[in-house]
Amino acid sequence: MNTFFENVSLTAMILFILLVVVPAVTLVWLFFYDRGQKQHSILRNFPILGRVRYFLEQTGPEFRQYLFSDDNSGKPFSREEYLHMVLPGKYKSSLIGFGSKRDFEEPGYYIRNAMFTKQNEEMRVDNSDLVDTRHYVIDDEGLFTRREHMEDAPALPWLLPPDDAVVIGPDCREPFHVRSLLGQSAMSFGSLGKNAITALSKGIGMAKGAWMNTGEGGLSDYHLAGGPEIIAQISSGLFGYRTPDGEFDIEKVKEKAAIPNVRAFELKLAQGAKMRGGHVEGEKVTEEIAKIRTVEPYTTINSPNRFREFDDYPSMFEFIGQIREAGGKPVGIKVVIGSKSEADELAGWMKKTGKGPDFISVDGSEGGSGATYQDLADSLGLPIKTALTILDDSLREHGVRDRVKIIASGKITTPDKAAVALALGADLVQVARGFMISVGCIMALKCHTNECPAGVATTDEDLQRALVVDEKKYRVTNYILTMREGLFRIAAAAGLDSPTKLDRTHLVYLDERGRAYPVQGHDEHLRAQ
Range 515-525 average pLDDT: 67
Amino acid present at 177: H
Supply the pLDDT for residue 117.
95
Supply the pLDDT for residue 525.
41
Is residue 367 over pLDDT 70? no
Residues 6+ positions from 108 with CB-CB distance below 8 Å: 509, 510
Instruction: Kindly tell me the sign of the dihedral angle through the C-alpha atoms of 146, 150, 154, 158.
Output: positive
Report H helices in 19-154.
Answer: 22-36, 41-45, 49-63, 79-91
Supply the pLDDT for residue 529.
33
Range 19-35 average pLDDT: 82
Is residue 339 over pLDDT 60? yes
With CA atoms as reference, report the closest residue to 282 among 297, 304, 303: 297
What is the rounded distance in angstroms from the CA atom of residue 241 to the CA atom of residue 234? Answer: 7
Concatenate the DSSP letters of all residues of 10-55 into one string: HHHHHHHIIIIIHHHHHHHHHHHHHHH-SS-HHHHHSTTHHHHHHH
Range 142-146 average pLDDT: 67
Helix (H, G, I), strand (E, B) or coil at 197: helix
Supply the pLDDT for residue 301.
74
pLDDT tens digits, 392-449: 999 999 999 999 999 999 889 899 999 999 999 999 999 988 888 888 887 777 777 7
What is the rounded distance in angstroms from the CA atom of residue 339 to the CA atom of residue 372? Answer: 22
Which own/partner pairs from 164-168 qualify as long-range (CB within 8 Å, at least 24 positions apart)? 164/124, 164/498, 164/500, 166/405, 166/427, 166/428, 166/500, 168/264, 168/330, 168/332, 168/358, 168/359, 168/405
Query: How far out from the chain centre does Cα 140 lie?
Result: 32
Which own/partner pairs from 43-48 qualify as long-range (CB within 8 Å, at least 24 positions apart)? none
Predicted confidence band of residue 341 (pLDDT cuts 50, 70, 90) = very high
Predicted confidence band of residue 526 (pLDDT cuts 50, 70, 90) = very low
3-state secondary structure 457-490: CCCCHHHHCCCCHHHHHHHHHHHHHHHHHHHHHH
Give, in degrees to the nearest 5, the angle at Cα 136 between 133 and 142: 175
For 330-423, list the strands marked E by DSSP. Answer: 331-335, 359-363, 405-409
What is the rounded distance in angstroms from the CA atom of residue 16 to the CA atom of residue 111? Answer: 69
Using DSSP bridges, classify how beta strands 507-510 and 516-518 pair: parallel, antiparallel or unpaired. antiparallel
What is the rounded distance in angstroms from the CA atom of residue 438 to the CA atom of residue 280? Answer: 23
With CA atoms as reference, report the closest residue to 230 among 260, 208, 207: 260
Is residue 180 over pLDDT 90? yes
Range 5-13 average pLDDT: 68
What is the rounded distance in angstroms from the CA atom of residue 448 to the CA atom of residue 369? Answer: 9
Which own/partner pairs from 391-395 qualify as long-range (CB within 8 Å, at least 24 positions apart)? 391/337, 391/343, 391/360, 391/362, 391/425, 392/424, 392/425, 392/522, 393/340, 393/343, 393/425, 393/522, 393/525, 394/340, 394/343, 394/344, 394/346, 394/347, 395/343, 395/347, 395/350
Ordered structural domains, the chain, with CATH: 153-528 (3.20.20.70)
- Using CA atoms in the order 77, 83, 85, 90, what is the torsion angle rounded to 10 degrees? 150
Supply the pLDDT for residue 45.
75
Q: Is 331 left (phi over 0), alpha (psi -120 to 50) or beta?
A: beta
Burial readout 501-528 (b: 16 or more C-beta within 10 A, e: otherwise): ebbbebbebbeeeeeeeebbebeebeee
Supply the pLDDT for residue 268.
93
Greatest mean pLDDT among 25-34, 91-100, 339-348, 519-528: 339-348
pLDDT tens digits, 154-169: 999 999 999 999 999 9
Is residue 520 over pLDDT 70? yes
Range 287-310 average pLDDT: 80
Q: Are 503 and 494 in contact (CB under 8 A)?
A: no
- Percent of the chain predicted with pLDDT > 70: 86
- The residue count of the chain comes to 529
Predicted confidence band of residue 374 (pLDDT cuts 50, 70, 90) = low
Is residue 499 over pLDDT 90? yes
Q: What is the mean pLDDT of the chain?
A: 85
What is the rounded distance in angstroms from the CA atom of residue 360 to the CA atom of residue 59? Answer: 40
Supply the pLDDT for residue 501.
97
Is residue 354 over pLDDT 90? yes
Query: How far out from the chain centre does Cα 79 lie?
Result: 17
Q: Name 233's bridge partners.
A: 266
Q: What share of the chain is helix, strand, coil (3-state, %, to 5)?
A: 45, 15, 40
Query: How far out from the chain centre does Cα 178 lie?
Result: 19
